[in-house]
Amino acid sequence: MNYKKVNIEGWNRKEHFIAYRDTVKCGFSLTVKIEITQVLSFIKEKGCKFYPTMIYLLSKAVNKHQEFRMAMKDEELIIWDEVHPIYTVLHTESETFSARSTPYTADFNRFLYDYAETDEKYKGDLRFYPKAPPENHFNVSALPWIDFDGFNLNIADFTDYFAPSFTMGKYKRVGDEMLLPLAIQVHHAVCDGLHVAKFIQSLQDYCDNIHKLS
């Protein structure tokens, strides 16, 4: 878990960080529609599963942007070199879910293999956390039953929890495109609208060019 410290005094977002961490503690969320036509074509061709494929694409986009890898550690603002997904998995028999984690790797096939191993290892474990989550993480969940236009995850205490959260909905066809609703929740102390826009563009590029990533 390597990281670098942020020199807040020399940071161009120093005032923004202080304001949204200490004075007006807040995050923000928005929902977008990601075009996943190429993703669905790819998983049909390769025999992959949709959920871990999207977790991989989200992980790749998150790790590209430092604003999505920030955290407080030992009272200092840091940027993790790498962050890993914590994702929810439904247990149909109990209608509860677990939060599992699989280490991110840029190797797509390796990530899917590790995801499958995690799935097999903890498939009968109904605990919320089958294993301790990594400190350097971000969050993924899914509502595959609902095609939503807006979703807001309310986090009670925004003080120092900077890990972003992503929630996927039910995808549907609109014209010639397959669209996936994706809700994004970030802490405003470390992330602005511009950074979210850049992240969305990266994710869309990875979805459009998924055949080049495997």
Domain ranges for the chain: 36-212
Residue 188 annotated in active site: yes
Stretch 58-69: mean pLDDT: 98
Q: Among 196, 189, 171, 161, which Cα is nearest to 72's?
A: 161
pLDDT top residue among 28 and 213: 28
- Pairing assessment for the beta strands 84-91 and 76-80 based on DSSP bridges: unpaired
- What pLDDT is recorded for position 55? 98
Question: For the structural domain made of 36-212, what CATH number should be given?
Answer: 3.30.559.10
Q: How far apart are CA 88 and CA 98, in angstroms?
A: 6
Q: How far apart are CA 130 and CA 158, in angstroms?
A: 25
Encode pLDDT of 143-179 as tens digits.
Answer: 999 999 999 887 766 679 999 999 999 999 999 999 9
Given the residues 16, 84, 188, 211, the one annotated as active site? 188
Q: Among 70, 65, 63, 99, which Cα is nearest to 84's?
A: 63
Residues 207/60, Cβ–Cβ less than 8 Å: no
Q: How far apart are CA 29 and CA 165, in angstroms?
A: 9
